[in-house]
Amino acid sequence: MDNCALCSSKKELEISHILPKFLFRYQKKSSPTGNIRTVNNPNRIVQDGLKLPFLCGECEDIFSKWETSFANKIFYPYESGKVSNFIYDESLSKFLASLSYRCLKLSQKENQLDHIEPKLTKYVELALDNLQSYLLGRHEHPKEQRQHLVLLGPTTFPGGYIKGVKESDFNIYTTRAIEYDVISTDNEAFVYIKFLKFLVLCPIKIISNKGWRSSRISHSGGSIEPKLYELNDYVLDRILSGARLLPDNRGLLSSKQRDLIEKNLSKQDPDKLINSPLGKVMINNKN
Ligand SMILES: [Zn+2]
């Protein structure tokens, strides 16, 4: 028996996914080679994402209600390319807050927050408290931990490069990668969660709203569509450093793995390859 990471009660914990399972299932299903490679080690095929005993059954149920709503109303329609503007209700902010909470709580539990500027560490505790009260319905509003969502899609850059990153790598990262991070500058900190064509940001401590307005999600509901977002340089820099890992890692693929990928690709029905988002990114980049 351990303490649930959300409600803190001592209960039998379920094996929870830190990021929801449907994201990995979708990434795998829509990949031309059928398997997922992590950004850090492309030779290891990750089928299912990180899971560990984290939440009790009741808290899992609370999260899964918001998850299902996001998956059906926004995630699948946007990934399929069929819908790009959405009217959302209060469950979107709850779902995003549940992701931010899980990623920040796990990073804290696993002592992965040493890089946070010491004067900002007290805000981690405060952010976790605010998110917890909001998720458990004790507060109607997440306070300073308002959620932010960016809808991503393939982008073109003059000359095919942005800050030394190839446009195709940038697009593969922004439309396909799944990862999370807790980022600290000298005086600001935030949670960064990137999955397929979505980027979620949750401030831990920010000193100005500059660069944080256009991606803000209202806790009560509203509408969203892809637009020209005004994002801070430190967010773009993090996206670029994620994209930069791609070509490096491609060089690390063992020849055995490369043969396997090529064999899988040649076995694919060409129509399926074109219909997969990765296929589309590749095709777009050839134009
Ligand atoms: Zn619980």
Confidence of residue 197 (pLDDT cuts 50, 70, 90): very high
Ligand 1 centroid – CA 136 distance (Å) = 9
Ligand 1 centroid – CA 137 distance (Å) = 13
**Which region among 52-56, 135-139, 241-245, 269-273 has the lowest average model confidence (pLDDT)?**
269-273
Ligand 1 centroid – CA 191 distance (Å) = 22
Ligand 1 centroid – CA 268 distance (Å) = 44
Confidence of residue 186 (pLDDT cuts 50, 70, 90): very high
Percent of the chain beyond pLDDT 70?
A: 80
For residue 221, CA distances in Å to 42, 94, 224 come to 39, 11, 10
Rounded Cα distance, 262 and 151, in Å:
31
For residue 193, list its beta bridge partners. Answer: 180, 200
Whether 35 has a pLDDT exceeding 80, the answer reads no
Ligand 1 centroid – CA 101 distance (Å) = 13
Any idea which residue has 């509003």 for tokens? 141
Ligand 1 centroid – CA 131 distance (Å) = 14
Ligand 1 centroid – CA 76 distance (Å) = 28
Ligand 1 centroid – CA 55 distance (Å) = 5
- The pair of structure tokens assigned to 267 is 């076995």
pTM of the predicted model, to two decimals?
0.87
Whether 17 has a pLDDT exceeding 50, the answer reads yes
Ligand 1 centroid – CA 6 distance (Å) = 5
The average pLDDT across 117-141 equals 96
- The pair of structure tokens assigned to 268 is 């694919």
Give the pLDDT score at 147. Answer: 98
- Runs of H (alpha helix) within the chain: 21-29, 57-70, 76-79, 90-109, 121-135, 167-176, 233-252, 255-267, 270-275, 277-286
Ligand 1 centroid – CA 135 distance (Å) = 11
Ligand 1 centroid – CA 61 distance (Å) = 9
Domain extent for 18: 2-286
Give the pLDDT score at 259. Answer: 72
Q: Model confidence over 42-69: pLDDT tens digits? A: 555 555 677 889 999 999 999 999 999 9
Give the pLDDT score at 1. Answer: 79
Ligand 1 centroid – CA 129 distance (Å) = 15
Give the pLDDT score at 277. Answer: 54
**Which region among 69-73, 74-78, 239-243, 268-272 has the lowest average model confidence (pLDDT)?**
268-272
Rounded Cα distance, 211 and 213, in Å:
6
The average pLDDT across 114-124 equals 93
Give the pLDDT score at 286. Answer: 37
Rounded Cα distance, 179 and 19, in Å:
9
Ligand 1 centroid – CA 17 distance (Å) = 14
Confidence of residue 174 (pLDDT cuts 50, 70, 90): very high
Any idea which residue has 């899988």 for tokens? 264
Ligand 1 centroid – CA 46 distance (Å) = 27
Whether 122 has a pLDDT exceeding 90, the answer reads yes
In residues, how long is the chain? 287
Spatial contact of 117 and 189, defined as CB atoms under 8 Å apart: yes
Whether 157 has a pLDDT exceeding 60, the answer reads yes
How many Å separate Cα 172 from the centre of its chain?
Answer: 14
Percent of the chain beyond pLDDT 90?
A: 60
Ligand 1 centroid – CA 186 distance (Å) = 34
The average confidence (pLDDT) of the chain is: 86
Whether 181 has a pLDDT exceeding 80, the answer reads yes
Ligand 1 centroid – CA 115 distance (Å) = 29
Ligand 1 centroid – CA 3 distance (Å) = 8
**Which region among 9-23, 28-42, 88-102, 133-147 has the lowest average model confidence (pLDDT)?**
28-42
Give the pLDDT score at 245. Answer: 79
Number of domains the chain is built from: 1
Whether 244 has a pLDDT exceeding 50, the answer reads yes
Ligand 1 centroid – CA 19 distance (Å) = 17
DSSP structural state of residue 213: S
Whether 285 has a pLDDT exceeding 50, the answer reads no
Ligand 1 centroid – CA 10 distance (Å) = 8
Confidence of residue 40 (pLDDT cuts 50, 70, 90): low
Give the pLDDT score at 246. Answer: 74
Rounded Cα distance, 125 and 128, in Å:
5
